[in-house]
């Protein structure tokens, strides 16, 4: 009986990452903030920037969303690479590293399958902006992270 009560209490304490919300990264050298949201797609097959908008591409549809306000689409490829990803029961963890400075950060987003599609642009405020999308089985997400040195 004690084991059943312990299991019930422990499972009630698991906090699921919400379907949308603010994003805060962890890093020793960077300040990372942003947001993520659901995307109305069956799965994410790719992303692109077209006419100053972010285009999320699914298998049978596309969703067009506004870029973050500080993102400058003319400053492409700021050198960020996805180096590690992992899944927890409640979240998907993504770690990005900069190709020259080797600074890195980790973010947690809702757990969903599919390959991470991402890219980076410069920001009008001097920060880098990392844009990402992923998902499958109609549980798709997109988001952005503003990245600056501490």
Greatest extent of the chain over all pairs of C-alpha atoms, in Å: 62
CA distance 112 to 53: 24
Selection from 18, 52, 57, 58 nearest residue 36 by Cα? 18
- Tens of pLDDT, residue by residue over 98-141, are 999 999 999 999 999 999 999 999 999 999 999 999 999 989 99
What is the pTM (predicted TM-score) of this model?
0.88
State residue 13's pLDDT score. 55
State residue 90's pLDDT score. 83
CA distance 61 to 129: 25
Per-chain mean pLDDT for the chain: 90
| Residue 90 and residue 8 in contact, taking contact as beta carbons nearer than 8 Å | no
State residue 1's pLDDT score. 41
- Tens of pLDDT, residue by residue over 47-73, are 999 999 999 999 999 999 999 999 999
State residue 14's pLDDT score. 57
Tell the burial category of 78 from Cβ atoms under 10 Å away from its Cβ (0-12, 13-18, 19+): middle
State residue 19's pLDDT score. 87
Selection from 122, 45, 133, 68 nearest residue 94 by Cα? 133
User: Strands 92-98 and 30-39: what pairing?
Assistant: unpaired
């Amino acid at each position: 009986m004690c084991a059943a009560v312990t299991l019930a209490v422990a499972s009630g304490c698991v906090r699921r990452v919400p379907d949308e919300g603010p994003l805060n990264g962890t890093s020793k050298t960077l300040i990372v903030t942003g947001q993520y949201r659901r995307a109305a797609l069956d799965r994410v097959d790719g992303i692109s920037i077209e006419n100053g908008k972010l285009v999320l591409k699914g298998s049978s549809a596309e969703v067009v969303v506004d870029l973050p306000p500080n993102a400058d689409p003319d400053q492409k490829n700021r050198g960020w690479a996805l180096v590690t990803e992992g899944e927890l029961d409640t979240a998907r963890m993504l770690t990005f590293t900069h190709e020259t400075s080797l600074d890195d950060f980790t973010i947690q987003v809702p757990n969903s399958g599919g390959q991470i599609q991402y890219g980076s642009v410069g920001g009008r405020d001097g920060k880098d902006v990392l844009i990402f999308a992923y998902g499958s089985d109609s549980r798709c997400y997109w988001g952005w992270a503003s990245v600056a040195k501490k």
